[in-house]
Chain A
Amino acid sequence: MFSFCTDPSTLENFQWVACYLTTGKHLNLYYAFGTVLLLLAITAPIALGFGFMGATAARSSIAPLRWLGKGYTSIVRGVPDIAFFLFFVIALDQAFEYIRHRWKCPDWTDPIRQGNDFLVCADAKLPLSNAAQWLHEVYGFSLAVLTFSIVFGAFAANVLFGAMRAVPRAQIETGEAYGMTTRQTFWRIMVPQMWVYALPGLSNLWMVLIKATPLLFLLGIEDIVYWARELGGTKTPRFTEYPHGDWRMWYFLFLLVFYLGFTKVSEVVLDRIMLRLTHGQATTGGEAQRKAA
């Protein structure tokens, strides 16, 4: 990175640190922070969407739809995250490949499972085995986003389901008295008002989601935990320009500070959203704001 980095063994402390922290390997660590933030930015809205659909389905008057919504939330909420992650990513990948296989190679006669091997034709591989490495990474990342969204969507569905029921019945009846249809009372009265009841639960979920991002590591994505462990490990002089002892503790401490800082920022932002949402609401929070004004 810097011009003086050619022979690190001769450098003074400060310069050594500057060179050490800008090796290609460390850049991978910084890049991994971006991956984690991107995961959160994409997963949160998708999970909320899944949650909204799950909650609406669970309230539906059509029985099969209701069963689907209830089944989704109770099954996913009941299975340990890690088990779900490990199972789902492999199963999802093989399911996608199987579907593509049936569609793209209808005249393939060999069995798909040969002993331990899961074999689909070359055209059905996802991503194609000759695809660039970044495509493989994007695919793995997308599977992770989908899995995170399904898991956290189930929790969000439960929160939103409760929030919808918490909107006072009288509000909806008033809407009906004005001649609104069920659809209209849902979109114009219930949905705008439910957020204030949903937010404490959703903000809790957001915190859990932030803390769950190291699970990416389990899914084979080289996230910050992977790089912290790799960079912190003992480095012997034969294999690196920057030999050092076991520094994993310091790297993990850095991760700890990062996560703590990130959750703190989230708390501040969520508090402000809560303040806005309670404004003018017939809740204790809204009442307190009215009295203070």
Chain B
Amino acid sequence: MKKLVLTTAALALTAGVAFAGSHSVVRMGTEGAYPPYNFIDDSGEVAGFERELGDELCARAELTCEWVTNEWDSIIPNLVSGNYDTIIAGMSITAERDEVIDFTQNYTQPDPSAYVVAAGNEGLDVKTAVIAAQASTIQASFIAGMGASLIEFATPEETVAAVKAGEADAVLADRAYLAPIVEADGELAMLDQQELIGGGVGMGLRESDGDLRAKFDAAIQSMKDDGTLNALIAKWEIGEQF
């Protein structure tokens, strides 16, 4: 028995050492501009649903994690060239992205995307409208495919500003992002029409990083199993639970 304990300890130790070589610190890349998923709080720290989720996942997988922010536009190239090790930035799992990077299992249900228009313009026909979306998002490709006129912006903030400035008729984005904005701003209104696009949000990792992906996958599964993920989703009003 004692021998068995010792061997396990030795095994764990060597595994730990081998692991320390590749990922003693896991750098978590996020955008920091997409509340409630991720944003910079008043003290200048990354906060939001994904911050709490990521910290919990790292604790469960026994990893030391560090948060870094990166522009949405270059978030995949910088992952691939190794500036950080994961993308945890409200990124929906799509086939196009999956060709370039790998995803863990989804940690949110597919969240319907919603349209937000200026108040009083609720009768808008989105098929013929000018619609704003953040560049390289599932919403942007959806609008392009639908045949409406698309204007793209680098940040989600600018897409909403475009509607307020009259530059676009509507903005299409994740409902969880738009809901608190509409709630706080009487000049904006949400359409009843929603679009179910994307396969839920997952963590992005380099394709060559299978070990790390497996660790996060297991951690997400354990959070799904014990209900802590649902609690987080409810707390941040992300959408459907598991």
Contacts and interface: CB of A to CB of B under 8 A. Distances in A.
A17 to B, nearest CB: 14
B207 A239 contact: no
A229 B181 contact: no
A93 interface: yes
Contacts of A133: 66, 68
A220 B74 contact: yes
Contact of A90 (B25, B43, B81, B183): B81
Contact of A117 (B41, B44, B206): B206
A24 B44 CA distance: 5
A269 B45 CA distance: 39
B42 A24 contact: yes
Contact of B41 (A93, A125, A240): A240
B155 interface: yes
B39 interface: yes
B21 A122 contact: yes
Interface in A235-268: 236-243, 245-246, 248
A66 interface: no
B43 A239 contact: no
A125 B24 CA distance: 13
Interface string B196-235: 0000000000111000000000000000000000000000
Contact of B81 (A23, A118, A234, A248): A118
Nearest to A8: B42
Contacts of A94: 81
Interface string A95-124: 001000000000000000011111110100
Contacts, number: 101
Interface in B72-92: 74, 77-78, 80-83, 85
Contact of A23 (B33, B43, B74): B43
Contacts of A229: 155, 157
Given A93-B81, A116-B207, A236 B155 contact: no
B69 A238 contact: no
Contacts of B35: 236, 238-239
Interface residues of B, number: 47
Interface in B161-212: 161, 164, 180-181, 183-185, 206-208
A115 B35 CA distance: 33
A15 to B, nearest CB: 16
B241 interface: no
A74 interface: no
A81 interface: no
Most buried by A among B43, B70, B183: B43
Interface in B21-74: 21-25, 27, 32-33, 35-36, 39-45, 47-48, 66, 68-71, 74
B24 A114 contact: no
B146 interface: no
Contacts of A240: 41-42
B100 interface: yes
B45 A24 contact: yes
A234 B82 contact: no
Contacts of A239: 35-36, 39, 41, 47-48, 180
B131 interface: no
Contact of B40 (A136, A230, A234, A245): A230
A233 B82 contact: no
Contacts of A93: 81
Given A222-B69, A239-B39, A129 B80 contact: no
Contacts of A234: 157, 160-161, 181, 185
B213 to A, nearest CB: 13
A49 to B, nearest CB: 29
Given A23-B43, A122-B21, A229-B157, 14 more contacts: A25-B40, A90-B77, A97-B82, A118-B81, A119-B208, A129-B23, A133-B66, A133-B68, A234-B181, A236-B183, A238-B35, A238-B180, A239-B36, A241-B42
Interface of A: 23-25, 27-28, 90, 93-94, 97, 114-120, 122, 125, 129-131, 133, 136, 220, 222, 229-230, 233-234, 236-243, 245-246, 248
The 10 A-B residue pairs with the shortest CB-CB distance in the complex, in nearest-first order: A24-B43, A24-B44, A130-B24, A233-B157, A130-B25, A236-B184, A25-B44, A23-B42, A239-B35, A28-B44
